[in-house]
Amino acid sequence: MFGITPDDQVGRVFENIVKDVKEKGNHPSTGFLGTAYLLPVLSRYGEHELAYQLASQKEYPSWGYMVEKEATTIWELWDSDTQGPGMNSRNHFALGSVGEWFYAWLAGIQPSSEGAGFKKIIIAPKPAADLTWAEAKLQSLYGEIYSSWKKSENKISLQVKIPANTSARIHVPHFGQQWPLIEESGNILIKAGQETKPLADIRLVEITDQATIFEVGAGDYHFNATL
Each residue's pLDDT tens digit in the chain (227 positions)? Answer: 999 999 999 999 999 999 999 999 999 999 999 999 999 999 999 999 999 999 999 999 999 999 999 999 999 999 999 999 888 999 998 899 999 999 999 999 999 999 999 999 999 999 999 999 999 999 999 999 999 999 998 999 999 999 999 999 999 998 878 789 999 999 999 998 889 988 889 999 999 989 999 999 999 999 999 98
Q: In what order do the strands lie in the sheet with 219-226?
A: 133-140, 143-151, 155-162, 219-226, 181-184, 187-191, 194-195
Nearest to 75 by CA among 98, 41, 42: 98
Neighbours of 163 (CB within 10 A): 19
User: pTM for this one?
Assistant: 0.93
170 near 158, Cβ under 8 Å? Answer: yes
Would residue 204 be called left, alpha or beta, if left means φ above 0 and alpha means ψ between -120 and 50 degrees? beta
> What topology is assigned to 107-226 in CATH?
Maltose phosphorylase, domain 3 (2.60.420)
Instruction: Write out the residue limits of the CATH 2.60.420.10 domain(s) in the chain.
Output: 107-226
